[in-house]
């Protein structure tokens, strides 16, 4: 499912909403998550999961082809941990 | 680190929707739920969810393997299960690095001094 399919499905299921409003809602939600992460904030959504940012220290890497050493600068990696409830939904007990 | 990492939640997402759309705050909270639920049900069906300029969520099937209780050393079977994987898009990674590179005043910790390469 892509973002536009997500918007389409929601719009189909909620006839009271204009598609362009659904677009704005979906956009606002994921933009807000991205904005928070870019400020170093954590985003915790119970029942879904939590987004956080992990810091990777600067290191000396290697070009695997030539063996040359390359300086890799410090960087920040977004990280997602699945929430308990969603994990259980993906693995329903038999 | 002296900085306290603050956490945002559904309420902040609802506020963002409210700022974008107006409508009532109560409705905006429901809209956040509606979007998350749609994403969750796609994942439950095993679909992956690709959100351009944000990232993608996909469900991966893990096979059975033998694990170990780290405390007792006892072998325990880990049953086949499904896990959710999130891959951030390049756009999101770039945004985060741009945002945090500015704020990182590099007060590198005690052992943070660069080490001379060992013959590198």
pLDDT given at position B105: 45
What mean pLDDT do residues A86-93 have? 92
Minimal-distance CA residue of chain A relative to B34: A10
- Contact assignment for B104 to A74 by CB distance below 8 Å: yes
Query: Measured between alpha carbons, how far is A36 from B90 in angstroms, rounded to an integer?
Result: 17
| Ramachandran region, residue A40 (left: φ > 0; alpha: ψ -120 to 50; beta: rest) | left
Chain A interface, best mutation among B2, B14, B20, by max A CB count within 10 A? B20
pLDDT in tens, B63-88: 999 999 999 999 999 999 999 999 99
Is the pTM higher than 0.90? The answer reads no
Query: Measured between alpha carbons, how far is B47 from B39 in angstroms, rounded to an integer?
Result: 9
Say whether A17 sits in a helix, a strand or coil.
coil
pLDDT in tens, A17-76: 999 999 999 999 999 999 999 999 999 999 999 999 999 999 999 999 998 999 998 999
pLDDT in tens, B12-49: 999 999 999 988 999 999 999 999 999 999 999 999 99
Residue A66 backbone phi and psi in degrees, to 5: -105, -15
Task: Quote the tokens at residue B6.
Answer: 């603050």
How far is Cα of residue B18 from the mean position of the Cα atoms in its chain?
23
Q: Locate tokens 């994921």: which residue?
A: A30
| Count: domains in chain A | 1
Q: Which of B7, B31, B32 sits opposite A42 (nearest CB)?
A: B7
Q: Which residues of A touch B5 (CB under 8 A)?
A: 40-42
Say whether B29 sits in a helix, a strand or coil.
helix
Q: Does B12 touch chain A (CB under 8 A)?
A: yes
Q: Which of A3, A39, A80 sits opposite B51 (nearest CB)?
A: A3
> Is it the case that residue B118 has pLDDT exceeding 50?
no
- Contact assignment for A40 to B59 by CB distance below 8 Å: no
Q: Which residues of B touch A74 (CB under 8 A)?
A: 104
Task: Quote the tokens at residue B43.
Answer: 């994942």
Q: What is the ipTM of this complex?
A: 0.89
- Contact assignment for A29 to B92 by CB distance below 8 Å: no
Q: Does B33 touch chain A (CB under 8 A)?
A: no
Query: For the ranges A29-38, A82-91, B98-107, which has the lowest average pLDDT?
Result: B98-107
Burial of A14 (0-12, 13-18, 19+ CB in 10 A): middle
Element (H, E) at B24: none
Whichever domain contains A42, its CATH number is 4.10.520.10
pLDDT given at position B110: 38
Cα of A86 to nearest chain B Cα, Å: 7
CB A37, CB B92: distance < 8 Å: yes
Query: Measured between alpha carbons, how far is A74 from B101 in angstroms, rounded to an integer?
Result: 9
> Is it the case that residue B112 has pLDDT exceeding 70?
no
Find the domain containing A18 and state its range.
Answer: 3-90
Task: Quote the tokens at residue A73.
Answer: 């600068």
Query: Measured between alpha carbons, how far is A72 from A82 in angstroms, rounded to an integer?
Result: 29
């Amino acid at each position: 499912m892509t973002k536009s399919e997500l918007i389409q499905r929601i719009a189909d299921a909620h006839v009271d909403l204009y598609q362009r409003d659904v677009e704005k809602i979906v956009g606002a939600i994921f933009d807000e998550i991205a904005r928070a992460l870019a400020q170093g904030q954590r985003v915790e959504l119970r029942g879904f999961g939590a987004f956080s940012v992990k810091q990777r220290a600067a290191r000396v890497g290697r070009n695997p082809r030539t063996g040359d050493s390359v300086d890799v600068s410090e960087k920040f990696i977004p990280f997602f941990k699945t929430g308990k409830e969603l994990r259980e939904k993906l693995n329903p007990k038999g | 680190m002296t900085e306290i990492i603050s956490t945002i939640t559904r309420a902040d997402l609802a506020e963002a929707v409210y700022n974008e759309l107006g409508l009532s705050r109560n409705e905006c909270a429901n809209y956040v739920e509606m979007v998350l639920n749609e994403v969750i049900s796609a994942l439950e069906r095993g679909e992956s969810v690709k959100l351009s300029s944000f990232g993608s969520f996909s469900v991966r099937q893990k096979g059975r393997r033998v694990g170990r209780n780290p405390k007792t050393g006892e072998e325990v079977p880990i049953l086949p299960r499904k896990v959710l994987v999130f891959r951030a898009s390049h756009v999101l990674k770039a945004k985060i690095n741009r945002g945090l590179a500015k704020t990182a005043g590099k007060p590198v910790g005690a052992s943070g001094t660069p080490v001379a390469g060992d013959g590198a």
